[in-house]
Amino acid sequence: MEPFIDRKSRRSVRLPGYDYSNIGMYFATICSDRRRCIFGQVQGSNVALSPIGEIVRICWIEIPKHFPNVKIETYVVMPNHLHGILTLQSKLPEANSQDTATGTAEAFGRPRPGSIPTIIRSFKSATSKRARETGLVSGGSIWQKGYFEHVVRNTREYVEITNYILLNPARWANDEDNPN
Protein backbone atom coordinates (compact mmCIF):
# COMPACT_ATOMS: atom_id res chain seq x y z
CA MET A 1 0.00 0.00 0.00
CA GLU A 2 1.37 3.41 -0.98
CA PRO A 3 1.69 6.08 1.69
CA PHE A 4 -0.81 8.92 1.53
CA ILE A 5 0.49 11.93 -0.39
CA ASP A 6 -1.48 15.13 -0.15
CA ARG A 7 -1.52 16.31 -3.77
CA LYS A 8 -3.30 19.54 -2.94
CA SER A 9 -1.11 20.63 -0.07
CA ARG A 10 -1.24 24.39 0.38
CA ARG A 11 1.00 26.68 2.36
CA SER A 12 -0.89 28.20 5.26
CA VAL A 13 -1.00 31.99 5.43
CA ARG A 14 -1.90 31.89 9.10
CA LEU A 15 0.49 32.90 11.83
CA PRO A 16 2.08 29.71 13.20
CA GLY A 17 0.79 28.90 16.68
CA TYR A 18 -1.46 31.97 16.84
CA ASP A 19 -4.80 31.47 18.58
CA TYR A 20 -7.42 32.81 16.17
CA SER A 21 -10.03 32.81 18.93
CA ASN A 22 -8.13 35.66 20.66
CA ILE A 23 -9.91 38.94 21.21
CA GLY A 24 -9.00 41.34 18.41
CA MET A 25 -9.72 42.50 14.88
CA TYR A 26 -9.26 40.35 11.80
CA PHE A 27 -9.32 41.43 8.15
CA ALA A 28 -10.58 38.66 5.88
CA THR A 29 -10.77 38.30 2.11
CA ILE A 30 -12.87 35.42 0.82
CA CYS A 31 -12.90 34.72 -2.93
CA SER A 32 -15.48 33.05 -5.13
CA ASP A 33 -14.62 29.71 -6.72
CA ARG A 34 -12.28 30.33 -9.68
CA ARG A 35 -12.79 34.04 -8.92
CA ARG A 36 -15.97 34.05 -10.98
CA CYS A 37 -17.92 37.32 -10.85
CA ILE A 38 -21.11 35.85 -9.39
CA PHE A 39 -21.79 38.27 -6.54
CA GLY A 40 -22.64 41.31 -8.65
CA GLN A 41 -21.08 44.00 -10.76
CA VAL A 42 -19.50 47.35 -10.09
CA GLN A 43 -21.43 50.32 -11.41
CA GLY A 44 -19.45 53.51 -10.95
CA SER A 45 -18.12 53.29 -7.42
CA ASN A 46 -20.92 51.06 -6.09
CA VAL A 47 -21.58 47.33 -6.28
CA ALA A 48 -24.94 46.15 -7.60
CA LEU A 49 -25.33 42.76 -5.94
CA SER A 50 -26.69 39.72 -7.73
CA PRO A 51 -29.09 37.42 -5.85
CA ILE A 52 -26.09 35.32 -4.74
CA GLY A 53 -24.27 38.50 -3.72
CA GLU A 54 -27.27 39.51 -1.62
CA ILE A 55 -27.16 36.11 0.12
CA VAL A 56 -23.45 36.70 0.83
CA ARG A 57 -24.22 40.15 2.29
CA ILE A 58 -27.06 38.84 4.46
CA CYS A 59 -25.06 35.88 5.77
CA TRP A 60 -22.10 38.17 6.56
CA ILE A 61 -24.17 40.59 8.63
CA GLU A 62 -25.88 37.64 10.36
CA ILE A 63 -22.59 36.27 11.72
CA PRO A 64 -23.21 37.86 15.18
CA LYS A 65 -26.51 35.93 15.44
CA HIS A 66 -24.51 32.71 15.40
CA PHE A 67 -21.36 34.00 17.10
CA PRO A 68 -22.50 36.59 19.68
CA ASN A 69 -18.89 37.50 20.52
CA VAL A 70 -18.35 38.84 16.98
CA LYS A 71 -18.90 42.39 15.76
CA ILE A 72 -19.06 43.12 12.03
CA GLU A 73 -16.95 46.11 11.10
CA THR A 74 -16.46 47.55 7.61
CA TYR A 75 -17.09 45.14 4.71
CA VAL A 76 -17.79 45.10 1.00
CA VAL A 77 -19.11 42.36 -1.27
CA MET A 78 -17.31 42.66 -4.60
CA PRO A 79 -18.16 40.79 -7.84
CA ASN A 80 -15.85 37.88 -6.98
CA HIS A 81 -14.76 38.36 -3.38
CA LEU A 82 -15.67 39.79 -0.01
CA HIS A 83 -13.47 41.98 2.19
CA GLY A 84 -14.44 42.42 5.81
CA ILE A 85 -13.18 43.17 9.28
CA LEU A 86 -14.46 41.03 12.13
CA THR A 87 -13.89 41.92 15.78
CA LEU A 88 -13.82 39.13 18.34
CA GLN A 89 -15.01 40.99 21.43
CA SER A 90 -14.57 38.10 23.83
CA LYS A 91 -13.64 34.45 23.85
CA LEU A 92 -16.47 31.99 23.86
CA PRO A 93 -16.43 29.85 27.02
CA GLU A 94 -16.05 26.71 24.89
CA ALA A 95 -12.89 28.13 23.28
CA ASN A 96 -11.14 28.12 26.68
CA SER A 97 -12.28 24.65 27.70
CA GLN A 98 -10.22 22.72 25.15
CA ASP A 99 -7.54 20.43 26.41
CA THR A 100 -4.25 22.35 26.59
CA ALA A 101 -2.50 19.38 24.98
CA THR A 102 -4.22 20.27 21.70
CA GLY A 103 -2.38 23.59 21.58
CA THR A 104 -3.72 26.86 20.31
CA ALA A 105 -3.67 26.17 16.59
CA GLU A 106 -6.74 24.82 14.88
CA ALA A 107 -6.12 21.42 13.35
CA PHE A 108 -8.05 19.47 10.74
CA GLY A 109 -11.00 17.78 12.44
CA ARG A 110 -10.56 19.90 15.56
CA PRO A 111 -12.16 23.28 14.95
CA ARG A 112 -11.72 25.84 17.72
CA PRO A 113 -15.11 27.16 18.82
CA GLY A 114 -15.46 30.88 18.13
CA SER A 115 -12.23 31.09 16.16
CA ILE A 116 -11.87 33.00 12.90
CA PRO A 117 -11.45 29.76 10.88
CA THR A 118 -14.65 28.37 12.42
CA ILE A 119 -16.57 31.60 11.77
CA ILE A 120 -15.42 31.81 8.14
CA ARG A 121 -16.15 28.10 7.55
CA SER A 122 -19.65 28.56 8.98
CA PHE A 123 -20.24 31.68 6.86
CA LYS A 124 -19.14 29.96 3.66
CA SER A 125 -21.29 26.94 4.44
CA ALA A 126 -24.37 29.06 5.19
CA THR A 127 -24.07 31.06 1.97
CA SER A 128 -23.58 27.93 -0.13
CA LYS A 129 -26.55 26.23 1.52
CA ARG A 130 -28.86 29.24 0.99
CA ALA A 131 -27.74 29.62 -2.63
CA ARG A 132 -28.54 25.93 -3.27
CA GLU A 133 -31.88 26.10 -1.41
CA THR A 134 -33.00 29.07 -3.50
CA GLY A 135 -31.98 27.32 -6.72
CA LEU A 136 -29.31 29.89 -7.58
CA VAL A 137 -26.66 27.17 -7.78
CA SER A 138 -27.15 23.48 -8.35
CA GLY A 139 -23.84 21.98 -7.29
CA GLY A 140 -20.23 22.67 -6.73
CA SER A 141 -18.91 25.42 -4.56
CA ILE A 142 -19.40 29.14 -4.78
CA TRP A 143 -16.24 29.65 -2.70
CA GLN A 144 -12.55 29.17 -3.32
CA LYS A 145 -10.89 26.89 -0.79
CA GLY A 146 -9.43 28.77 2.12
CA TYR A 147 -9.36 32.53 2.54
CA PHE A 148 -6.90 35.27 3.32
CA GLU A 149 -6.73 36.93 6.70
CA HIS A 150 -4.66 39.48 8.54
CA VAL A 151 -4.58 40.19 12.26
CA VAL A 152 -5.18 43.94 12.62
CA ARG A 153 -2.48 45.04 15.04
CA ASN A 154 -3.11 48.75 15.63
CA THR A 155 -5.25 51.78 14.84
CA ARG A 156 -3.14 52.80 11.84
CA GLU A 157 -3.68 49.38 10.22
CA TYR A 158 -7.38 49.52 11.03
CA VAL A 159 -7.73 52.92 9.31
CA GLU A 160 -5.71 51.78 6.26
CA ILE A 161 -7.68 48.55 5.89
CA THR A 162 -11.01 50.34 6.36
CA ASN A 163 -10.08 52.82 3.63
CA TYR A 164 -8.96 49.97 1.38
CA ILE A 165 -12.32 48.22 1.83
CA LEU A 166 -14.39 51.38 1.31
CA LEU A 167 -12.47 52.38 -1.84
CA ASN A 168 -12.40 48.88 -3.33
CA PRO A 169 -15.40 49.34 -5.66
CA ALA A 170 -13.97 52.59 -7.07
CA ARG A 171 -10.68 50.80 -7.86
CA TRP A 172 -12.38 47.77 -9.45
CA ALA A 173 -11.47 48.73 -13.03
CA ASN A 174 -7.76 48.38 -12.11
CA ASP A 175 -8.13 45.47 -9.65
CA GLU A 176 -6.08 42.35 -10.41
CA ASP A 177 -9.14 40.27 -9.43
CA ASN A 178 -11.21 41.96 -12.15
CA PRO A 179 -11.28 39.53 -15.10
CA ASN A 180 -12.18 42.32 -17.53
Lowest-pLDDT choice from 11-15, 144-148, 156-160: 11-15
Tell me the average pLDDT of the chain. Answer: 85
Instruction: Give the pLDDT of residue 39.
Output: 97
- Which stretch, 9-18, 106-115, 119-128, 135-144, has highest mean pLDDT? 119-128
Position 178 scores a pLDDT of: 81
- The pLDDT value given to residue 18: 80
Which is higher by pLDDT, 91 or 61?
A: 61
> What DSSP string describes 26-81?
EEEEEEBGGG---SEEEETTEEEE-HHHHHHHHHHHTHHHH-TTEEEEEEEE-SSE
Q: Where are the domains of the chain?
A: 24-93+104-171
Provide the pLDDT confidence category of residue 32 given band limits of 50, 70 and 90.
very high
Residue 176's SS3 state is coil
pLDDT for residue 13: 58
For 24-93+104-171, the fitting CATH number among 1.10.10.60, 3.30.70.1290, 3.30.10.20, 3.40.50.1100 is 3.30.70.1290
Tens of pLDDT, residues 72-122? 999 999 999 999 999 999 876 654 444 443 445 555 445 678 899 999 999
CB neighbours of 98 closer than 8 A, spacing ≥ 6?
A: 112, 113
* pLDDT value, residue 112: 74
Task: Decide if pLDDT at 70 tops 70.
Answer: yes
Distance CA 73, CA 83 (A): 10
Average pLDDT over residues 52-62: 98
Q: What is the mean pLDDT of residues 117-139?
A: 92
Pairing label, strands 24-31, 81-88: antiparallel
